[in-house]
A and B are shown apart, each in its own frame.
Chain A
Amino acid sequence: MVYEKFRPSDELNPFIECYFTWHSSGVSANGLVVESPPNGFCSIVFNLGDEYILHNKKYNNLVVPRQFVSGQSIYSYSLHFNGIINLCGIVFKPAALASLCNLPTFEYTEERIPLDNIFKKPAVNAIAEALSAEKDNAGKARILETFVLDIYRENKPEPDYIDWAANEIIEKNGMVDVTELMKHVYMSRRNFERKFFRKVGLSPKYYARLTRLAYLLNLIAGKKKADWGALFSECEFYDQSHFIKDFVEFTGRTPQQYLEENRELANLVDKPKPHSID
């Protein structure tokens, strides 16, 4: 199982978190289940391998489209594989689907939208074919970068205060005071919340809660033991009941159950460090 991440160019850095490739080295992953908690990012994914199934709170058995846009997840989900895994994709900064592609992110929460519902089918097919033909992982990332650059150069987006605020929440792993954040954006709370919702798909406070828990889950990913006291303090939870409430709400499990039962990708691969695509 190989999972790699690639950094975007400086030009796309305000909008793109990373590109990724994930494959099972041509080996069939029969019966493999991979779980993922919400991570705070939207993505575009190309499946170059066999079909697989998604389970989340909304879909019990969704055959995932070959190429799709994934909106914000607010609950854990699981992927069920019965064949060759060969995926690659673009992970967007939280407001970037709206800023870069003019997409209504707030309509995509918990969704997997076929990419040819959004972009022209021949263009989507051409990229999928180019990705299939490219064997090198960095090469795949370069194809994805070119795809995003074409959108960027056509739409000429400028990151605005919502991009800034959402990226700040990510940068600080959700440990931000939204009232403090608003002092830098010079607008009323209602206006800020409304614009943030339209671009990110969630309210700023809820997004910060989700991002903080995603950070904590990343710290314990692949582990079977955790020092809850230290994590509790590092992630600046107000009290234990807030911590447990957030944990159960976003993962569907108690912290201890999660440690014992989780089947995240981090259990199968080393945590990747992003490479340059050059």
Chain B
Amino acid sequence: MFAYQQKDVDKMMSFCDPAGTVEFIPLGAAGKGKIGELGRGIWESLVDCFPDIDNTLDAAVADDHRTVRCQVVIRGTQKKDFANIKSKGKSFDSDHIFIFHINDEDKIDHISVEWNHEDFVRQLTA
């Protein structure tokens, strides 16, 4: 989360297995893919469209030896169109749950991300 805070997607990727899987749950089937492809693409786009994007790690709980659940608040101000959301220069502040699975090589090989997408869109478009 600290690499994400630094908006350093390469550094984020260095903690991950690029062939691992990522699921942005509210996006349905379109939100499932590989960390090194879909994940990288979405995070690069977020950093590009929300240049002041930032996060706070509220809490982290180990679900088991290899799985960590992180409660994170993500916030940012939109400067470019993102996905299908036209930029109105508005800001968002949204609770996210990230679940990371770590493989035997200590790389993240699965990430699931959940948030209230309706509320996220409402904050940027209202």
Contacts and interface: CB of A to CB of B under 8 A. Distances in A.
Interface residues of B, number: 13
Contacts of A106: 60
A174 interface: no
Given A190-B5, A194-B2, A206-B71, A58 B57 contact: no
B19 interface: no
A74 B61 contact: yes
A109 B60 CA distance: 7
B85 interface: no
B62 A203 contact: no
Nearest to A245: B95
A74 to B, nearest CB: 5
Contacts, number: 34
B58 A206 contact: yes
Given A190-B5, A203-B56, A205-B56, A110 B61 contact: yes
A72 B57 CA distance: 15
Contacts of A107: 62
B59 interface: yes
A193 interface: yes
A201 B62 CA distance: 12
A213 B110 CA distance: 34
B2 A109 contact: no
A14 to B, nearest CB: 24
Interface in B50-86: 54, 56-63, 71, 73
Contacts of A217: none
A193 B56 CA distance: 7
A116 interface: no
Nearest to B68: A107
Nearest to A107: B62
B59 A202 contact: yes
Given A203-B56, A205-B56, A111 B2 contact: no
Interface residues of A, number: 17
B83 to A, nearest CB: 26
B56 A109 contact: no
B32 to A, nearest CB: 26
A96 to B, nearest CB: 18
B89 to A, nearest CB: 22
A201 B59 contact: yes
A97 to B, nearest CB: 16
Contacts of B71: 74, 206
Interface string A107-126: 10111000000000000000
Contacts of B63: 58
A152 interface: no
Nearest to A194: B2
Interface string A188-218: 0010011001000111011000000000000
Contact of B57 (A74, A110, A111, A203): A203
B26 to A, nearest CB: 19
B62 to A, nearest CB: 7
> Nearest 10 pairs between A and B by C-beta?
A206-B58, A203-B58, A110-B61, A203-B56, A109-B61, A202-B59, A74-B59, A193-B56, A109-B59, A197-B57
Interface of B: 2, 5, 54, 56-63, 71, 73
25 contacts: A58-B61, A58-B63, A72-B59, A74-B61, A106-B60, A107-B62, A109-B60, A109-B61, A190-B5, A190-B54, A193-B57, A194-B2, A201-B59, A202-B58, A203-B56, A203-B58, A203-B59, A203-B73, A205-B56, A205-B58, A205-B73, A206-B56, A206-B58, A206-B59, A206-B71
